[in-house]
Structure 1
Amino acid sequence: MIEIGIWKRWREAREQPKETEIVSDSLLRALIGETKITAEEAMSIPTVAGCVGKIADTVASLEIKLYHRNGDAIEEVTDDKRTKLLNGDTGDTLDAFQMKRAMVKDMFLDKGGYAFVHKSNGEIVSLHYVEANRLAFTYDPNPIFKDYKIYCYGAYYEGWQWIKLLRNTRNGYSGESIVDESKTFFETAYASLLYEKNLVKTGGNKKGFLQSAKKLSTEAMEALKKAFKRMYSDSSENVIVLNDGLTFKESSNTSVELQLNENKKTNADEICKMFHVPPSIISGKATEEDKKNYIEGAIIPILDRFATAINAVMLDEDEKNDMFFSFDTTDLVKGDIEKRFGAYKIAIDSGFMQIDEVREKEKLPAFGLDFIKLGLQDVLYSPSSKTVYTPNTDKTSKMGENPVKEEPEKKEGEEDAD
């Protein structure tokens, strides 16, 4: 009888349903490195999408111009076909704005932004943007004399056939995305987004557990599970009738739930720092100082990087000494023009900058003025001819000529001669 009783209790224990379930916590998986975030997932984070979109649109909207150095003067070249390819019709399905925008986006989220420079008879005829994930590289392992080829769609190409907009590159052909650079942070931020999504899908209902005064049958437990699943889903059914003897005990909120909103704001600010974008730029509450910091911190370095990449492959070797492509930032810094021109005025009035020097900085043709503005505002001096011109009296004199004679000192008691 004892053995039969033991066997009965063992069989009942085997039939007792197990209530332990493994809950997949996306945030925990992110923290221990089990989740690898993709570029598409990173772009689902609102602040990432905002920063990438803002920077890409800003860069793509700027016109690229070609300049020629003629001695000390810098002149714009207006009749070159290459500027039309860089600003209008690229000869591809993407126009210049779309091409530049896509390249900036790939620079942040992939190994770089790439555009193939198509030449015919030595002349550039079209530019073709290519997604970074469609490219592969073969390279020489020599760390000093680096060499590589780019493989695309069954063919190998030389590096000088591509405009390459790279970020944090160490080899000259591929860079590091901002997601790979700070992958733990972005994985955690994305996991927080998924956690919030899960809260919304469950209707924000509190978590908890059921307490029963008596043992429930398997059928009753399954019915309760289905009812609670419907209540925690995004359906309209959010009422459960508990039978006699059943009570619901609410579990306490986790630290993640309690700090969710605070963490979202902190994560957004940290993402803005990574992109060098003031948070006020994204929220639309930027001051003039914020806009200046955005231009200097987030935009200008990319423009310099982009222009350098263009100059490397779109200029002939004999053009590289006296010609260069550059982004026209006039519209970008309109809000700062008054301050900049005010500084130029002080420099000119003080005499340590001349009008042609200012025009050179602004990439404008020189007037060819061979004069220095002196402290006296109505006197002009020519260093080459050592000539002084006074407009008020319309007189010209030469430095060193007709020196003023010193009168001899009069002795005491002497009178002036009649």
Structure 2
Amino acid sequence: MKWPWQKEERAEEPISNIDNVLLQALLGGSTISKKEALNIPSIKSCINFIADTVSMIPIKLYQAKDGKADEITDDNRVKLLNDDTKDTLDAVQFWRALIADYFLGKGGYAYIKKYRNQVASLHYVEEEFISIQENTDPIFKDYHILVNGKNYLPFDFLKILRNSKDGAEGISIIEENNLLISVAYNSLIFEENLVKKGGNKKGFIKSQRRLSEEAITALKNAWKKLYSNNSDNVVVLNDGLDFQESSNTSVEMQLNENKKSNADEICKIFNIPVNIINGTASSKEYTNAFKMAIMPVLRVIECALNRELLLEKEKGSFYYAFDTKEMLKGDLKERFEAYKVAIESNFMGIDEIRFMEDLPALGIEWIKLGLDSVLYDPKTKEIYTPNTNQSQNIGNLKGGENIEDRDPE
């Protein structure tokens, strides 16, 4: 006898791991890890595209002086950022690791080893080993960085953060889009489970009469063997037993269409056209992807480099910048058409263009001018006409007097 307040104990059907995981994903109760997110092809492809592009663009150090920017080529920091970080990772591996943590973790972190205000090496640190200890002041924010319990100050680390609100750690795409990523991941798990079960459908047995405990146990054991993906296992339904399917098949659920839709939505997170991932993108689509997906990341990195790798006395006159003109080398025809316009408009010289193409200079310092051109120097207010080989200073002209009316001397 059970009292009314006693809970009735019922036999529960065991829930498979795949059903439990998929249900949690649909209810928003599961959090995808970075390792699980990288199993999704669209996420892996988008991160690889951004990381590969960033690692290919050289970083240069400039000094703004007398209204122009002079490139600094003999600085050790430039070599650390582009070639050898003096760590186990080279520059390409260094940036790829930072970009992955930038999107999938709390941010990309690299320890800056200094020797007497000189940057000696850069050491990538996995974001899982980073802990942030912040103060409670919402205005004058401050924090310390802990690595394996050791305390570091903010300027000890190069920090590449996404959508950060405190400057200490960023927000990953997993936090912002957990439901979408979770559904995409669990769809792969669901598809894997279908393959393991050989495509057998889930359902339940209807019986016209009550079965004994021995019959139920034998039926369950036979059913488990059937789902073990063994072709020799069969289930024989006696008279009075009928199988009722309880879920749709993979065709009815349109798994392929759902996977494509999820991939398209994930590409929107990275601002990357789907054709980039498919390998069918046009030159215009690639340019749009570079502007929308790559340039914002480059700007984040430039700000971090200017803040952490420059001395206080260098800030204001020195700055780091990615040499994005290297990305124009992908299309030969468009590149040479741009060079032609630059020469004809006297925007660039021949040797400047040869330098961009990594070709030796020809020593040509002149630019082409048409004889019908009139040249004006705003500093001296002097006008020169090559066709007539005449010069005239505007400041010496009287009011209402035309240059053509004056006798050439």
**Structure 2 length as normaliser, TM-score?**
0.82
Residue 299 (structure 1) shift: 0.4
Describe the shift of the 1:37–1:405 C-alpha distance in structure 2 as closer, same or farther (beyond 3 A). Answer: closer
1:66 alignment counterpart: 61
Give CA-to-partner distance per residue, 1:338-380, whole Å, 9 cap, x none: 6588678768877xx9559xx8xx999xxxxxx9999975433
What amino acid is the match of 1:204? G
1:304 alignment counterpart: 299
1:14 alignment counterpart: none
Distance between the aligned counterparts of 2:233 and 2:263, measured in 1?
A: 33
Distance between the aligned counterparts of 2:332 and 2:137, measured in 1?
A: 48
**Greater Cα offset, 164-173 or 25-34:** 25-34
Pairs within 5 Å for 1:188-227: 188-212=183-207, 214-227=209-222
The percentage of counterpart residues that share the same residue type is: 48
1:179 alignment counterpart: 174
Structure number, greater radius of gyration: 1
Describe the shift of the 1:41–1:315 C-alpha distance in structure 2 as closer, same or farther (beyond 3 A). Answer: same
Q: 2:372 touches 2:387 (CA, 8 Å); kept in 1?
A: no
**1:283 maps to 2:275:** no
Q: 1:379 touches 1:389 (CA, 8 Å); kept in 2?
A: yes
Distance between the aligned counterparts of 1:241 and 1:146, measured in 2?
A: 70
Residue 195 (structure 1) shift: 1.8
**Greater Cα offset, 325-334 or 261-270:** 325-334
Gap runs ≥5 in structure 2: 1-9, 358-365, 398-402
Q: 2:63 touches 2:71 (CA, 8 Å); kept in 1?
A: yes
1:271 partner SS:
helix
2:266 alignment counterpart: 271
Q: 1:170 aligns with which of 165, 169, 180?
A: 165
Residue 246 (structure 1) shift: 4.0
Give CA-to-partner distance per residue, 1:131-174, whole Å, 9 cap, x none: 11111122222222222111113322111121100001011111
Describe the shift of the 1:250–1:171 C-alpha distance in structure 2 as closer, same or farther (beyond 3 A). Answer: closer
* C-alpha RMSD over aligned residues: 3.5
Give CA-to-partner distance per residue, 1:72-131, whole Å, 9 cap, x none: 222221111111111111111111111111111001111100001100122110101111
Give CA-to-partner distance per residue, 1:161-219, whole Å, 9 cap, x none: 21100001011111101100112222222222222222222111123333445544433
Distance between the aligned counterparts of 1:308 and 1:235, measured in 2?
A: 59
Distance between the aligned counterparts of 1:167 and 1:140, measured in 2?
A: 21
2:400 alignment counterpart: none
What amino acid is the match of 2:378? P
Residue 405 (structure 1) shift: 4.7
2:313 partner SS:
helix
Distance between the aligned counterparts of 1:103 and 1:404, measured in 2?
A: 66
Q: 1:107 touches 1:165 (CA, 8 Å); kept in 2?
A: yes
Q: 2:13 aligns with which of 17, 21, 31?
A: 21
Describe the shift of the 1:211–1:142 C-alpha distance in structure 2 as closer, same or farther (beyond 3 A). Answer: closer
Q: 1:293 aligns with which of 288, 292, 298?
A: 288
Residue 323 (structure 1) shift: 1.4
Describe the shift of the 1:134–1:245 C-alpha distance in structure 2 as closer, same or farther (beyond 3 A). Answer: same
Pairs within 5 Å for 1:73-152: 73-152=68-147
Distance between the aligned counterparts of 1:405 and 1:249, measured in 2?
A: 105
2:187 partner SS:
helix
**Greater Cα offset, 332-341 or 189-198:** 332-341
Q: 1:374 touches 1:380 (CA, 8 Å); kept in 2?
A: no
Pairs within 5 Å for 1:350-361: 355=348
Residue 238 (structure 1) shift: 5.0
Distance between the aligned counterparts of 2:303 and 2:317, measured in 1?
A: 14
Q: 2:372 touches 2:386 (CA, 8 Å); kept in 1?
A: no
Q: 2:323 aligns with which of 312, 315, 328?
A: 328
Distance between the aligned counterparts of 1:214 and 1:164, measured in 2?
A: 69
1:399 alignment counterpart: 393
Q: How many residues align?
A: 381
**Greater Cα offset, 63-72 or 107-116:** 63-72
Q: 1:372 touches 1:383 (CA, 8 Å); kept in 2?
A: no
Distance between the aligned counterparts of 2:316 and 2:203, measured in 1?
A: 73
Describe the shift of the 1:293–1:112 C-alpha distance in structure 2 as closer, same or farther (beyond 3 A). Answer: same
**Greater Cα offset, 132-141 or 114-123:** 132-141
What amino acid is the match of 1:189? A
What amino acid is the match of 2:292? G
What amino acid is the match of 1:398? Q
What amino acid is the match of 1:21? E
**Structure 1 length as normaliser, TM-score?**
0.80
1:38 alignment counterpart: 33
Describe the shift of the 1:255–1:182 C-alpha distance in structure 2 as closer, same or farther (beyond 3 A). Answer: same
Distance between the aligned counterparts of 2:404 and 2:77, measured in 1?
A: 62
Distance between the aligned counterparts of 2:341 and 2:223, measured in 1?
A: 75
Give CA-to-partner distance per residue, 1:249-287, whole Å, 9 cap, x none: 444527995232222111111000001111111111111
Q: 1:372 touches 1:380 (CA, 8 Å); kept in 2?
A: no
Distance between the aligned counterparts of 1:341 and 1:170, measured in 2?
A: 44
Distance between the aligned counterparts of 1:404 and 1:34, measured in 2?
A: 84
Residue 20 (structure 1) shift: 5.9
What amino acid is the match of 2:83? G
